[in-house]
Structure formats: structure tokens, C-alpha cells
Amino acid sequence: MSSPQRVSSNLQNPVTPDLDWQTLDRVLAGDASAADEDHVRAWVGASPDRRLMVESLLRRNGSLASVDVDRAWQSVASRTVSAPHVDRKWTIGWVAAAGVVIAVGSFISARMLRTSAQQVQIPTSWHELSSPLGKRTIVTLPDSTRVVLNAESSLRYSSMFGERTREVFLTGEAYFTVRADSARPFRVRANNAEIQDVGTRFMVRAYDAAHGTLVVVDEGAVGIASAGSLGHDTVVVTPGVLARMSPSGAVTTMATNATKYVGFANGLLATSGLTLSEAVPVIERWYDVKIYVADPMLGRRPLARDFHDEPLSNVLNALGALLDADVRRSGRLVTISPRSNN
Amino acid sequence: MFMGPNELSSIDQNDRIQRGDSAAFERLFRSHYDALCSFAVRYTDSAAIAEELVQDVFARVWTDRSRWPAPQNQRAYLFTAVRNRALNVGRRRQLEDDWIEAETALAHEEDESADALSAAAMDSEPHIFLERAVASLPERCRLVMHLRWHESMSYADIAAVMGISTKGVENQLSRGLRALRRAFGVAH
């Protein structure tokens, strides 16, 4: 005894009985028998809607177009197989044996390691300065160079700093006002980059090896090169130029407004000209919050203003008004969603 | 179980990774990186964060390589690690949990919202239409469909990755297909 509906369905498609979902699933998963495929082919042939659905599902591409596996491998390799095996105690004290390569943790690249091996550094102790999430920290180095460390950034230098050279290792973002001293060049190592300067003001951003290293100069000039190549492959960076070294060591430059990059040193949270998605990591770091943008369309909206080290609540209110969005905060989590109409 | 040449070489590869062979680790990385990023981005909504997360998982695999699982479980292991890491990132955990709660209650509403998509949209841009229909499904359902139809994973592996039963995987797939059929006007 069949229902009236079932009867009418059979009348509409007398030749092709309905397909169970398992058969369609096997075909979509590429796990189908020849019989399954015949079955689906017959089913699809009976209606354009079915064909459209199955064809779009088969053609659906869930891959991320932007993935660069080579670059990603370089980045992972530098943290794993190419990373030096080091006694972790080095951060707090002396490395005992002479001739030991002083390893600088996770941000050393294979290339830098080779360089330091050639130089055979002598045992030394390290100083580390860091600025946590949500804070900017101003430090003065032994040579009276002034450094503004942005949130979630750290700077290391050895006890030999200033004896013949002045060399610091940066993870994160920092603005340097370097005390001029042409006899002892000031060098910043960040990711796979080495940046040299004699006396100037500049910013280095190196939060994440995969995103490369950015350099913007406020005054004077600096040279940037792959670690170990300073002197022969150096690109000179002057004010108004943004230089980026890719993880593979290539340097590209473009004109920029320096304020956008160096403003943090003076408490400027520069978000104008960024889309919301681009601004999210900047704001997250500045205030130590996590921001979830509920709608991708919202993420593409441009922000038309900067903030001057204002309380988080001001920034969130302003974002709500700028984007006509609902901004809700619960502890350290901020959710930005399209304004509901009711 | 019959063991083909692929399984043999993956056992070999497994030993090499455990012994700290970087070339074997690189092969593992290269064969799964893309797929894991495509999966991770479904949690993060940001390709950069997805990549970072997958790279962290591989860095962890290398550090903990002595605990590297049996070859037949490697893919499910990597996907599970990526999912756990993505959930730990935190911002989406709440959302996914909400979806589980709401799934049953919303089943009818979802179907209706899929119905509401215009027929004209379907004719002009079937792929955009499909994406919109898929987007109207609960997150867990979308993730299961991705693992099944894009990664050709078995029900058992999907169940392990998503922390649900194989019956749950079947429910998600049948529900998803039912909703898509409705959206495309394929009533029967």
C-alpha cells in the first residue's frame, strides 16, 4: 500500500527510481563501483536539476588557492629538521664548551647556522627583553640605542654586544633609534634577514617567518640582506620605502607612508587604509584580545581611521560605528557581526 | 589484510620519521600540507592562520616523532591534530558547540532557507549557488562533507577526526545531501 505521493513520483520518473544517498555519496567521494556510476548517470540523465547538482558537487574545489608548499616547508624546516639541537639552558646562563655554536632558538635559519659555525662564536651569555601581548615596551641598549618593542615581541643580544659590533636578534616588531657609531655597525637579525645601519631610526617587523620581514626607515638609511650576505647582496632602504624580505631571501620594495608602520612607537594604532581582516591581528596584539569577525563580507570593509592608544572600549565603539556592525565583548573575546535588523 | 607496495613504503617511511629522517618528514609534510590547510581554513576563516596552525601541527609531529602513529592512521591523526588545534584556537569552539546544540532544532529552518535561494541564481551561477546552499548547512555537516567528498576519507576516519560515531557521519552526509537536493529542487 503506497502513499499517493510515492505513486506520483513513480509516474514522473518511471525509468529511474530514486537514488539512495549512499550511492551518491560513494560517487562524490570517488569510492564508487561501476554499477554505482551507472546508477548515478541514469539518475542524473533524467533531470537537469539533478545534473546541475551532481556536476557542481563533483567540480567543487575545496582547496586553498594561496598555499605555497615550498615556502611553508622552509618555514617548518627551520623550526624542525634544520633547527639546531640545543641545550635549552642557554637562555639563562653560560654555554659551557668552547667551540659550541651559540644557537638562537627557533628563529635561526639553516643559513644563519652555517654562518655562525664559520665564525665560531665564543661562549657568551644572552640578554632577552620582551614585550607581552597588549603592551609596548621601551628599552635602552648598552650603547644607548633606544628600542620600542611592540606587543608580543622580543629582542636578544649577547654579553659581547658593543665590543666590536652591535647585533640584536628580533622576533616581532620593534622601532630602533640607533646611536650613531660607524666603527661598530648596528645589526638586526630577524627571520632570515640581516639589517645593518649606522645611525638612524627605523622599524623592523618580523612576527612570523612565513610572512617575511618588513623594514621601514623613518630617517637615514639601512641595508637589508639575507643573513650572512651583508656587504654583497645588500638592498639599501631609505625613508618612504617599504622593504620586504621573503622567506626565500628575495627583497622587494615599494613606496609607502612610513607613519602606518612606525606609528606604534608613539602610541599610534594605525588601521586606516587596512581592511577589518587586516586590522584584526594588529588590534588583537595591541589590546591582547581575540577578535572573531562573524561575516567574511564585513572583514573586507576598509577602516577609515587610526587610534591614538585609546582604551579598547573606544576602539570597539568606533569600529561598531564605522562598520555599522554589532561589536560584543566578553572578557578577552570580541565578536564583530553584521548589525541585526530587529 | 593484503599489503600493497604503498603500505609497505609508508611503514618504511614511518620508521624513518621515528628515527628522525628529515627527508621522510619532508615527504609527509608535502603530501598532506595542502589538504590540511584546506581543512583548517574551515575553522579559522583565514588562510594565513590556517597555514600557521598546520605548520604548528607538523612542528609538533617532529618534536614528538617517537610517538608517531601506525602508518594506516597517519592521515586521520594529522587531521585530528589540526582540528584539535583549531578548536584550541578557541574563537570557533563556542560556535561549533552551538551548532551541535542547534542542529536538530534548526533542521527544518535550514531546509527552508535553502529553498529560499532564487532559481535564477541557480541557472546563472551554479557554483556560487552551490556554495551558498552549502554555507547554509551547519558547520559540522560541512566539515564532514569536505572530509568525505574532497578528501575521500572513510566513515571511520571521519568519525575519528570529528570525534563522532560512524553513524553520526552517515547522518551528517544524508542530511547534507537531502538539504542540497532540496536547494537544487531535486525533490526525488
Q: What ipTM did this prediction achieve? A: 0.76
Is pLDDT at A3 greater than 80 in this prediction? no
Do B132 and B178 share a structural domain? yes
Q: Alpha carbon of A10 to those of A3, A5, A6, B68: distances in Å? A: 11, 9, 6, 54
- Using a CB-CB cut-off of 8 Å, the residues of chain A touching B59 are 76, 79-80
Residues of chain A found within 8 Å of residue B150, distances taken between Cβ atoms: 60, 62-63
Say if residue A220 is exposed, middle or buried (CB neighbours under 10 Å; 0-12, 13-18, 19+). middle
The CATH number of residue B86's host domain is 1.10.1740.10
Mean predicted confidence (pLDDT) in B36-65: 86
* Chain B interface mutation, best of A2, A10, A53, A284, highest count of B Cβ atoms under 10 Å: A53
pLDDT confidence of B80, banded at 50, 70, 90? very high
Short-list B25, B97, B99, B13, CA closest to B57: B25
pTM over 0.80: no
pLDDT digits (tens, 9 = 90+) for B117-139: 444 444 555 666 777 788 888 88
- Asked if B127 lies within 8 A of A63 by C-beta distance, the reply is no
- What is the signed CA dihedral for A268, A274, A277, A283, rounded to 10 degrees? 0
Q: Is residue B61 part of a domain?
A: yes
Domain count, chain B: 2
Q: Measure the CA–CA gap between A83 and A69, rounded to whole angstroms.
A: 19
In the DSSP assignment, the letter for residue A122 is P
- Partner-chain contact B184 A73, CB within 8 Å: no
Question: Do B46 and A73 make contact, defined as CB atoms within 8 angstroms?
Answer: no
* Higher pLDDT among residues A60 and A88, named by residue: A60
Predicted confidence (pLDDT) at residue A175 exceeds the cutoff of 70? yes
- Nearest CB neighbour to A73, from listed B29, B45, B63: B29
Q: Residue B188 has what pLDDT?
A: 55
Alpha-carbon gap, residue A309 to A311, rounded angstroms: 7
Q: Closest partner residue to A64 among B50, B55, B91, by Cβ?
A: B50
CB contact under 8 A, A290 and B127: no
A38-52 in b/e form (b: 16+ CB < 10 A) is ebbeebbeebebbbb
Give the domain extent around B89.
10-94
Residue B38 lies in a domain: yes
Partner residue facing A53 (CB), from B41, B184, B188: B184
Q: Could you tell me if residue B138 is inside a domain?
A: yes
Instruction: Lowest mean pLDDT of A57-66, A262-271, B17-26, B35-44, name the range.
Output: A57-66
Q: B16, B46, B82, B149: which to substitute to probe chain A, counting the most A Cβ within 10 Å?
A: B149
Please give the share of chain A, as a percent, with pLDDT higher than 90. Answer: 15
What three-state secondary structure class fits B26? helix
Verify that B21 and B84 share a domain, yes or no: yes
Q: Does B93 touch chain A (CB under 8 A)?
A: no
The H or E element containing residue A205 is strand A201-206
Q: Do A59 and B174 touch (CB under 8 A)?
A: no
Q: Is residue B3 part of a domain?
A: no
- B167, three cell numbers: 553513524
d(CA A18, CA A9): 9
Cα A29 from Cα A61, distance rounded (Å)? 13
Q: What does DSSP assign to residue A180?
A: P
In chain A, the N- to C-terminal Cα span, in Å, equals 49
